[in-house]
DNA sequence: GTTAGCACTCTGTTTAGTAGAGTGCTAACA
DNA sequence: TGTTAGCACTCTACTAAACAGAGTGCTAAC
């Protein structure tokens, strides 16, 4: 669709004014606030055209106009310029990132926190563990006379552990030997590849004790499962209280219900993993409950593999430019961190 | 304070009706709903007396009356009977508890969830790790050519781990030897007893490598710290949306702000650890922001040591009886679990 | 001590009226 | 043909008045 420069300018003003104020924008307001050199009347005419073209909507006859989903789409596709972060913002992010980063999970958690704080919206960060870590080896650590701790070490430094019962009469040396044999079998397998099939093979090795075998099977499978599941980090669910769109308690309840459906969130984020940056506006979103929301999502990869996905979810009236530049900055940050992690090996 | 039986009865009806409906209770309503065999007029007189005595309050002249904080206090002190849970409730709790319990943290998390679901209020569960676990031993597990994973095993089966850098030229055997020596030094110490003082002693043993020493020191101290801190589990922050007291967004915001102050929550719960069951009503609470809320708190111990604390936080209009019986049931449940844990050793 | 009756008070809701903001249309102007 | 000024019209948000409903307190009678 081709719009005259003047229409484009007016549309942009309306969108940005509405994003900033959350109030419908009227022709006189535009003429007063922005020096376009044209009268309110002509702005009215242009606005009327833009409404016919589907870019604007009127809440009621005598309110100003608000951008339609189509307008936001046009805005992000052909008007927005990435725009760098201010030094202040960048300093804030750097500060928050260095606050406390001990494990990989901490990194994701920090990312979620920063994302929500910077954008004043809900943030979602999904860590795709399955593809990022492989089984390295396992080890039994003695706990007490009847129990060992089974530690499973992944090649990315992730450690999982659980308590297992030692079969009666079994010596610690035998347990260690067992760990070595199982480790050899599973070494290098991605954790989500460890299914019941892989474990059946082990049966012969451990056949001398059915009970131990059963509990090991359960433990390894459970750990495998917990790695298959992507892990989800949420941030800023409190931020939305400040958005005028959510001044109604019921709307908040609705959104929070959606955010509790972890399964759905994962599907949602996974659906957008192909493209680097995905912006879903209003009704474009297939999932009910957030169809008057927009989502901006970015995927980060390492060697072509999807490592994780981050997203910002908020009202369609969202600071698209700001969100994108924050994500961009975080993206670079994370890529650096993950690359460094890998170089260390 | 001595009240006539009739006054007592009327007060109880008002409290329980208000708890159930959240609406001020009027004399006619009482006469209609409850068959007391007396007319509204006499109920009015009694209510007038009760107001003078400080048990009732009038939101305005022509509304009914609502219980004062003093009334709730009287109610929980001398009217309430513990009351057993319904079979249905008990079955629900049992079911939720068996859903997924893998680690100690899971138990606390489940407790929080159950508590909030059963009481429709916010629940807080504080796990007092410091007193419940002692250092057992540590071990280095190889990760890659430059890094080991330091595992610290506590006697209750808790495992902490972090990545440490291997000093240039140091062999794995030396690392193992080091682990043994440090383990011997720290064995049996409660994790919160491991301060910088304890670690200074180690210096001689590890003096041959300053860098490793520094990073070990940091790791152990950090793990010690994370154990010193009690861990807090929250449940049901979404439940409060259904309480009429929180139909105002600002009140929700206020409460959520309080719940974010983890430090304050810990102080709050710790303050009530002495008594077995503590009920704090309205203004009795010292902490601002929740002075129109009530809190019911129970502490569970093992061999005299405080293992944890659970609490329900909600509007003063709270189902005190129900909350207490749920807590009672959970208390027994947890005691059984913890005792079994200990027997195993 | 208990009850019925009644005037009084306060809230929440409905109704009417008004100011404010914005639009759409028309006619005039460059 | 594009632009502007003027004006009638529409819709909302706010305010004030009116009114029904619920509850109380008081008095007088049982």
Give start-end residues of each CATH 3.30.450.40 domain in chain B: 87-128+230-343
Half-sphere exposure of B173 (CA within 13 A, CB side): 0
Q: Do A144 and B345 touch (CB under 8 A)?
A: yes
**Which part of chain B has CATH 3.30.390.60?**
131-228
What strands lie across the sheet with A122-127, from one edge to the other? Answer: A231-235, A122-127, A305-315, A293-302, A277-281
- Option in A147, A162, A238 nearest B256 (CB): A238
Q: Are B298 and B310 in contact (CB under 8 A)?
A: yes
Under 8 Å between Cβ of B111 and B334: yes
Residue matched to tokens 């199982």? A182
pLDDT at B305: 77
Please report the pLDDT score of residue B202 as a whole number. 64
- Residues A272-282 pLDDT 10s: 777 789 999 99
List b or e across B36-70, with b for residues whose CB sees 16 or more CB atoms inside 10 angstroms. eebeeeebbebbeebeebebbeeeeeeebbbbbbb
Residue A305 pLDDT greater than 80, yes or no = no
d(CA B276, CA B66): 29
pLDDT confidence band for A49 (50 / 70 / 90): very high
The arithmetic mean of pLDDT across residues A232-249, rounded, is: 87
Q: Tell me: pLDDT of A338 over 80.
A: no
Say what the pLDDT of residue B101 is: 54
pLDDT band at residue A182, thresholds of 50, 70 and 90? Answer: confident
Which of A122, A150, A157, A254 would best serve as a mutation to test chain B binding (most B beta carbons within 10 A)?
Answer: A157
**CA-based torsion, B245, B248, B250, B256: positive or negative:** positive
- By Cβ distance, the residue of B141, B246, B252 closest to A139 is B141
Cβ of B51 near strand D (under 7 Å)? The reply is yes
pLDDT recorded at residue A169: 81
- pLDDT one digit per residue (tens) for chain B, 345 residues: 678 899 999 999 999 999 999 999 999 889 988 888 888 999 999 999 999 999 999 988 888 999 999 999 999 999 988 778 899 999 998 888 776 555 677 788 889 999 999 999 999 999 876 565 788 999 999 988 888 888 988 887 778 888 888 888 888 898 898 889 888 888 888 776 776 666 666 666 555 566 677 777 777 777 766 666 778 999 988 888 888 888 888 888 888 889 988 888 988 898 877 778 999 999 898 888 888 899 999 998 877 778 889 999 999 999 999 999 999 999 888 888 777 766 654
pLDDT of residue B205: 57
Residue B195 has what pLDDT? Answer: 64
Nucleotide lying nearest to A43, CA to C1' measure:
D3
Which nt is closest to the CA of A25, judged by C1'?
C22
Tell me the per-residue pLDDT of A53-107, one tens digit each, with 9 for 90 and over.
Answer: 999 999 988 889 999 999 999 999 999 987 788 999 999 988 887 765 556 777 8
Q: Is A147 on the interface with B (CB under 8 A)?
A: yes
pLDDT at B313: 96
Domain at B5-78, CATH class: mainly alpha
Q: Which residue has the higher pLDDT, A148 or A165?
A: A148
> Are residues A114 and A330 in contact, defined by beta-carbon separation less than 8 angstroms?
yes
Q: Average of pLDDT values for A124-138?
A: 80
Q: Helices (DSSP H) in A120-171: which residue ranges?
A: 129-132
B225 in reach of chain A (CB within 8 A): no
Nearest to B157 among A102, A149, A257 (CB): A149
Rounded-to-integer distance, Cα A219 and Cα B96, Å: 21
The CATH topology of domain A133-228 is: Enolase-like; domain 1 (3.30.390)
Query: B163 contacts in A (CB within 8 Å)?
Result: 157
Does B222 contact A151 at a Cβ distance shorter than 8 Å? no
Please list the residue range(s) of chain A that carry CATH number 3.30.390.60.
Answer: 133-228
Per-residue pLDDT band at A160 (split at 50, 70, 90): confident
Cβ < 7 Å from strand D, A residues 38-57: 38-39, 41-42, 45
Would you state the pLDDT for residue B45? 93
Whether B21 CB is under 7 Å from strand D: no
> For residues B294 and A249, which has the higher predicted lDDT (pLDDT)?
B294
pLDDT at B315: 95
Q: What is the mean pLDDT of residues A21-30?
A: 92
Q: Which residues of B fall within a CB distance of 8 Å from A147?
A: 157, 344
Q: What is the distance between the alpha carbons of residues B75 and B321, in angstroms, rounded to a whole number?
A: 10
Chain A contact present for B109, CB below 8 A = no
A278 touches strand C (CB under 7 A): no
For A87-128+230-343, give the CATH class. alpha beta
CA distance A39 to chain B (A): 41
Which residue do the tokens 């004043």 mark?
Answer: A120
Distance from CA of A41 to the nearest CA of B (A): 40
Detail the DSSP E strand segments found in chain A: 56-57, 66-67, 122-127, 135-144, 147-154, 159-165, 231-235, 277-281, 293-302, 305-315
Check A151 against B163: CB less than 8 A apart: no
Measure the CA–CA gap between A322 and A83, rounded to whole angstroms: 8
Task: Tell me the CA distances in angstroms from A23 to A72, A169, A323, one per residue in order.
Answer: 16, 76, 21
Considering only CA atoms, which of B39, B35, B74 is closest in space to residue B56? B74
Provide the pLDDT confidence category of residue A327 given band limits of 50, 70 and 90.
very high
A60 sits within 7 Å of strand C by its CB: no
Lowest mean pLDDT: which of A106-120, A199-213, B5-19?
A199-213
Which of B139, B162, B241 is facing A249, going by the closest CB pair?
Answer: B241
Looking at chain A, the domain(s) classified CATH 1.10.10.10 span: 5-78
Residue A293's pLDDT is 94
Question: What is B131-228's CATH topology?
Answer: Enolase-like; domain 1 (3.30.390)
Q: Report the alpha-carbon distance of residue B152 to residue B193 in Å, rounded.
A: 15
The DSSP code for B284 is G
């Amino acid at each position: 669709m081709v719009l005259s420069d003047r229409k484009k300018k007016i549309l942009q003003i309306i969108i940005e004014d509405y994003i900033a104020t959350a109030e419908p924008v009227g022709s006189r307001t535009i003429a007063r606030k922005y020096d376009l050199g044209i009268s309110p009347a002509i702005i009215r005419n242009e606005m009327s055209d833009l409404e016919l073209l589907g870019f604007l909507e009127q809440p009621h006859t005598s309110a100003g106009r608000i951008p339609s989903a189509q307008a936001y789409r046009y805005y992000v596709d052909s008007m927005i310029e990435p725009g760098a972060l201010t030094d202040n913002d960048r300093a804030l992010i750097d500060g928050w990132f260095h606050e406390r980063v001990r494990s990989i999970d901490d990194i994701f958690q920090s990312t979620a926190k920063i994302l929500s704080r910077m954008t004043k919206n809900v943030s979602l960060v999904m860590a795709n563990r399955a593809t990022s870590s492989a089984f390295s080896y396992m080890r039994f650590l003695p706990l007490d006379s009847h129990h060992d701790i089974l530690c499973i070490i992944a090649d990315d430094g992730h450690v999982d552990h659980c308590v297992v019962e030692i079969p009666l009469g079994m010596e610690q040396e035998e347990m260690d030997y067992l760990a070595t044999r199982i480790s050899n079998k599973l070494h290098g397998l991605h954790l989500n590849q460890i299914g019941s099939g892989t474990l059946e093979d082990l049966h012969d090795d451990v056949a001398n004790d059915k009970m131990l075998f059963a509990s090991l099977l359960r433990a390894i499978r459970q750990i495998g499962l917990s790695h298959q599941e992507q892990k989800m980090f949420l941030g800023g669910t409190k931020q939305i209280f400040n958005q005028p769109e959510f001044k109604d308690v019921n709307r908040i309840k609705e959104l929070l219900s959606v955010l509790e459906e972890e399964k759905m969130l994962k599907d949602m984020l996974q659906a957008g993993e192909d493209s680097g940056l995905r912006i879903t506006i209003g009704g474009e979103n297939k999932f009910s409950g957030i169809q008057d929301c927009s989502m901006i999502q970015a995927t980060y990869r390492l060697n072509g593999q999807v490592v994780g996905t981050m997203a910002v979810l908020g009202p369609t009236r969202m600071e698209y430019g700001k969100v994108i530049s924050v994500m961009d900055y975080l993206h670079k940050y994370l890529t650096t961190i993950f690359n460094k992690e890998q170089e260390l090996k």
